[in-house]
C-alpha cells in the first residue's frame, strides 16, 4: 500500500468552497478501484490549512486516480483557491499491511 499526504493552504475566503469541492473529490476517490482511504482534514488552529490523506493499493491505482474526471474537476476548481501551491509527500505503508 502507498500513501500520499497533501498539504493545502487555502485563501481564507475560499474555505467553504474548497471543502465542498473536496467532499465531491473524496466521494469519487473512495469509489475508485484500489482506494483504501481518502481523508479530507481541516486544521483546528488554522482553518485555511488542510491535509488530504490518500491510500491506494499500488502506484498504478494512485496514478489512475489522477486520470479520473472527479480529480481533474477538483484540481481545476481549487487551483485558484490556494494561497500557495499544494505540496504532496509520498510514503510506503509499513503497517497496516493489506493483502
- Would you kindly state where each structural domain of the chain is located, as residue ranges? 2-92
Predicted TM-score (pTM) of this structure: 0.92
Extract the C-alpha cell encoding 51.
Answer: 491535509
pLDDT of 94 above 90: no
Strand partners, 56: 2, 35
CATH number of 2-92: 3.30.70.100
pLDDT of 82 above 90: yes
Under a CB-based contact definition with an 8 Å cutoff, are residues 61 and 21 in contact? Answer: no
Q: Model confidence at 95, in pLDDT bands (50, 70, 90)?
A: confident
Which residue carries 480529480 as its cell?
71
DSSP state of 95: S
Q: Check residue 96 and give its pLDDT.
A: 75
Contacts (Cβ under 8 Å, ≥6 apart) of 64: 32, 33, 34
Contacts (Cβ under 8 Å, ≥6 apart) of 78: 8, 10, 18, 21, 22
15-65 tens-digit pLDDT: 999 999 999 999 999 999 999 999 999 999 999 999 999 999 999 999 999
Amino acid at each position: 500500500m502507498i500513501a500520499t499526504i497533501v498539504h493545502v493552504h487555502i485563501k481564507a475566503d475560499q474555505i467553504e468552497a474548497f471543502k465542498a469541492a473536496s467532499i465531491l473529490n473524496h466521494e469519487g476517490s473512495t469509489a475508485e478501484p484500489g482506494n483504501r482511504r481518502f481523508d479530507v482534514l481541516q486544521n483546528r488552529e488554522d482553518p485555511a490549512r488542510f491535509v488530504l490523506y490518500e491510500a491506494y493499493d499500488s502506484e498504478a491505482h494512485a496514478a489512475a486516480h489522477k486520470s479520473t474526471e472527479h480529480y481533474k474537476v477538483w484540481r481545476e476548481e481549487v487551483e485558484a483557491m490556494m494561497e500557495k501551491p499544494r505540496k504532496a509527500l509520498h510514503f510506503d505503508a509499513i503497517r497496516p499491511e493489506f493483502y
